């Protein structure tokens, strides 16, 4: 079975009424999980030292000091903090690093069903609903704590993972691949954004595109990774490329999320003993999120090594 990391603290991170990154997203994920086999694990509290693998102490301190004693405060027009936000973000990071540890020990695959998301958080800038770069932190944990030399971070959220790109820009031990609608927030993710070592691949997709464009982009990108042979794969699993999502304009379906999950797991089975840890990013239509998560988990379990 797939390990699913959750924590009730992620329901304590509050955003203003009507904000798309809402507590109900976790409830929708739980609805999707109810339809597929999985093992639930309580996500531990993350270690601040793991945050420092990607963010400077000044950024961590800034977030911690900004946590309000009550109500909701804005860091920017999209990104908010409430009294429960610090613990929520630390359990998201703790779930991701614990999932990496478990995969290294036993080969178990995992989905980290936490919030806030992380792939827009840059080195010193929280943005796009994100505080800390969870996927990048998990990748650096795999590299530094477990002594790996090649980790791939694959991001199929509809928005470009600008934060992950920023955090891994100078990291030659990581390959980062992101598909995303363009033009769209945050405005980054051009093909010529290659990283300091040419290790970043951006796959911009036009609005209105669906299955054919997605597969045409991802198939050669995944095939190219087989020669690099990653030792671990981290997935930024955003489900806002779904045709029902209100924040974007791609036309993916649950079958597309199943296909890309299966393709990633095939790569993992060939290159890294099946080791895949997936972390929740976007997805803002609640019914589509539930159905897409179910398809994702089913494929993570079906193709387990």
Positions marked active-site: 120
Backbone angles phi, psi at 235, to 5 degrees: -115, 125
| Alpha-carbon gap, residue 100 to 165, rounded angstroms | 20
Do strands 174-181 and 110-112 pair parallel, antiparallel, or not at all (unpaired)? unpaired
CB 213 within 8 A of CB 251: no
Cis peptide before 116 (omega within 30 of 0): yes
Query: Would you say 288 and 244 are in contact if contact means Cβ atoms under 8 Å apart?
Result: yes
d(CA 229, CA 88): 33
Angle at 78 between CA 258 and CA 8, to 5 degrees: 60
What's the sign of the alpha-carbon dihedral 138, 140, 145, 146? positive
Residue with tokens 């531990």: 44
**Stated length of the chain:** 305
Q: CA 68 to CA 76: how far, in whole Å?
A: 15
Secondary element (H or E) of residue 62: helix 57-66
| Residue 131 · residue 118 · CB < 8 Å | yes
């Amino acid at each position: 079975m797939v390990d699913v990391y959750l924590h009730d603290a992620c329901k304590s991170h509050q955003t203003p009424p009507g904000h798309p990154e809402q507590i109900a997203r976790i409830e929708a994920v739980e609805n999707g999980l109810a339809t597929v086999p999985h093992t639930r694990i309580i996500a531990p509290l993350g270690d601040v030292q793991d945050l420092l693998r990607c963010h400077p102490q000044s950024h961590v301190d800034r977030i911690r000091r900004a946590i309000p004693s009550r109500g909701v405060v804005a860091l920017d027009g999209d990104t908010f903090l409430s009294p429960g936000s610090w613990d929520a973000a630390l359990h998201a990071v703790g779930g991701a690093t614990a999932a990496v540890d478990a995969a290294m020990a036993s080969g178990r695959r995992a989905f980290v069903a936490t919030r806030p998301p992380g792939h827009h958080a840059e080195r010193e800038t929280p943005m796009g609903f994100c505080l800390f770069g969870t996927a990048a932190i998990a990748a650096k944990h795999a590299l530094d704590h477990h002594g790996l030399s090649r980790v791939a971070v694959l991001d199929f959220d509809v928005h470009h993972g600008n934060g992950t790109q920023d955090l891994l820009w100078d990291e030659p031990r990581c390959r980062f691949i992101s598909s995303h609608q363009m033009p769209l927030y945050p405005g980054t993710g051009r093909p010529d954004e290659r990283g300091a070592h040419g290790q970043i691949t951006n796959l911009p997709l036009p609005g209105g595109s669906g299955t054919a464009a997605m597969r045409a982009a991802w198939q050669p990108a995944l095939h190219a990774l087989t020669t690099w042979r990653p030792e671990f794969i981290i997935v930024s699993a955003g489900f806002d490329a779904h045709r029902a999502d209100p924040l974007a304009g791609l036309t993916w379906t649950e079958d597309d999320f199943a296909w890309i999950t299966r393709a990633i797991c095939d790569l993992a089975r060939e290159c890294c003993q099946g080791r895949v840890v997936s972390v929740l990013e976007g997805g803002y239509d609640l019914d589509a999120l539930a159905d897409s998560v179910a398809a994702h988990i089913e494929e993570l379990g079906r193709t387990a090594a």
